[in-house]
Homo-oligomer: A and B are copies of this chain.
Amino acid sequence: MPRTTARSRAAKTRRQPTRGNATQAALAERILGWLRQQDLKPGDHVPERLATEAFHVSRTPVRGALTLLTTRGLLERRDQRGYFIAAGFDAADQPAAVETPETTLHDAILRDRFSKRLDAEVTAAHLARRYHASRAVVLRVLGRLQKDGVVERALGQRWVFLPALDSLRSQEDSHRFRLILEPAAFLQPGFALDARRTRDLKAALGELARQDARHFDLKRALDADIAFHEAIADACNNRFLADAMRQQSRLRRFATTSMQVPPARLIESCREHLAILEAAEAGDFVRAAELMREHLAASLRARPGFVNRGAPPMLRAALMGAR
């Protein structure tokens, strides 16, 4: 029986499953987010084909992901009928960020780099040794960091960390870049905020704005800040503009933990975000853009080490958006 032989041999030399279905878990999360965006009621049908088309994968991983969601009680499977929204779909809401060796290493590298425990030039082998990770994992993480603009591959075998947002210079660059992008986003034709998302965002921001400066939840404030800017990115109806804004958001998320902004400024910031959202919701995009310009200019001024490197006064006005 060749079959049995093959199977027993497989059992003997069994390896770790290549990625232990981590991709299917990730797909499950993305499908979940995608389902939540749509207005679905318990009992609604979720055809496999829609997911395969939305995520450019075949039915095999989609079925795996849907099965995962079924075991979590979010979907229900009926034989020969497929998957349906389960009763508890709206209730249990765990973002459940999938933990893989990649995400762990990714965070460890960023943490150590921002705290200067890691040199600006590293090799893949060095990282693999230091973090006890396989070479393949290291390369995947480096590839992702490269996409995010954190590292760059040199011609040899070194990877070079770019001056990150913890350097004052890059921070100013980033701010000025956003000062260019984000006000312009509102003026793009087809700019449209997602209604539900805006509602949630406003609720979160309103709560933060009412908080006391002394017991301010820094983490939540930064999350809300980033969610706000990403919402603008998604709304702007321009692929390149959105990509650029999202890239800045990602960089900021890594770096802001080490940045120090006075809580009073953060509370003010939440109020400004609210005002911007309200202007945009009312369709007054010119005003929203103007408010965004003022908001970013105020944040730029509030930076600890902010200096205006000798631009002539005439220019400074234009730069700060006070034209």
Taking Cβ atoms with an 8 Å cutoff, the residues of A that contact B are: 23, 26-27, 30, 55-58, 61, 121, 143, 146-147, 149, 154-156, 158, 160, 162-163, 170, 173-174, 176-177, 180-181, 184, 187-190, 238-241, 243-244, 248, 285-286, 308-311, 314-315, 318-319
Question: Which of B146, B155, B248, B310 has a CB less than 8 Å from the CB of A26?
Answer: B155
Distance from A266 Cβ to chain B, minimum over Cβ atoms (Å): 23
Q: Which residue of the partner chain B has the closest CB to A285?
A: B315
Q: Which residue of the partner chain B has the closest CB to A58?
A: B156
Distance A241 CA – B187 CA, assembled complex (angstroms) = 19
| 7 CB-based A-B contacts, threshold 8 Å | A57-B158, A173-B238, A176-B241, A177-B240, A180-B180, A187-B318, A189-B308
Count copies of this chain in the complex. 2
Distance A147 CA – B177 CA, assembled complex (angstroms) = 20
Question: Which of B162, B173, B184 has a CB less than 8 Å from the CB of A180?
Answer: B184
Contact residues in B for A163 (Cβ distance below 8 Å)? 239
Question: Which of B156, B239, B285, B311 has a CB less than 8 Å from the CB of A170?
Answer: B239
B240:A173 contact, CB within 8 angstroms: yes
Contact residues in B for A162 (Cβ distance below 8 Å)? 239
A146:B149 contact, CB within 8 angstroms: no
Contact A176-B238, Cβ < 8 Å, known A56-B156, A154-B57, A243-B149: yes
A154:B240 contact, CB within 8 angstroms: no
Query: In the complex, given contacts A143-B143, A187-B315, A189-B309, what are 17 additional A-B residue pairs having Cβ atoms less than 8 angstroms apart?
Result: A30-B155, A55-B155, A56-B155, A56-B160, A149-B243, A162-B239, A173-B238, A173-B239, A173-B240, A173-B241, A177-B238, A180-B181, A187-B318, A187-B319, A189-B311, A189-B319, A285-B315
Distance A184 CA – B180 CA, assembled complex (angstroms) = 7
Contact residues in B for A188 (Cβ distance below 8 Å)? 176, 319
A190:B309 contact, CB within 8 angstroms: yes
Question: Which of B56, B174, B285 has a CB less than 8 Å from the CB of A121?
Answer: B56
Distance from A28 Cβ to chain B, minimum over Cβ atoms (Å): 11
Question: Which of B158, B180, B319 has a CB less than 8 Å from the CB of A56?
Answer: B158
Contact residues in B for A174 (Cβ distance below 8 Å)? 240
B286:A318 contact, CB within 8 angstroms: yes
Contact residues in B for A58 (Cβ distance below 8 Å)? 156
Distance from A290 Cβ to chain B, minimum over Cβ atoms (Å): 11
